[in-house]
Amino acid sequence: KNEVEQSPQNLTAQEGEFITINCSYSVGISALHWLQQHPGGGIVSLFMLSSGKKKHGRLIATINIQEKHSSLHITASHPRDSAVYICAVTEGETSGSRLTFGEGTQLTVNP
């Protein structure tokens, strides 16, 4: 079992829909990251969370430390949101700041 599990693996939505991607982890963490990767592209950080909730434009990320669960929400989805979304965690204090990754969620938003 992977230390970081994402669901769903693939998600297809119509433009305008509200989207949720989930991430569960099994280790103690100091931070959780949501990353975005467009096809053939680099990896961009969307959020870093250690508690609570953050919002950037149409993107919202939440984390529940007790339940070891995080969600990424996209409101009013748009075709340009089509990408792979990756959840990653920074484990406890002894592991530096290296990341452990989920396998990613492929999101396709159709016009």
* Closest CB to other proteins among residues 61, 77: 61
* Closest CB to other proteins among residues 65, 99: 99
Three-state SS for 94?
helix
Task: Determine the number of helices (DSSP H) and then strands (DSSP E) in the chain.
Answer: 0, 11
Q: How far is CA 105 from the centre of its chain?
A: 8
> How near is the Cβ of 14 to other proteins at its closest, in Å?
27
Residue numbers at the binding site for other proteins (CB under 8 A): 30-31, 33, 35, 42-45, 48, 86, 88, 90, 96-99, 101-104
Q: Determine the Cα–Cα distance for residues 61 and 80; give it in Å rounded to an integer.
A: 19
> How near is the Cβ of 38 to other proteins at its closest, in Å?
12
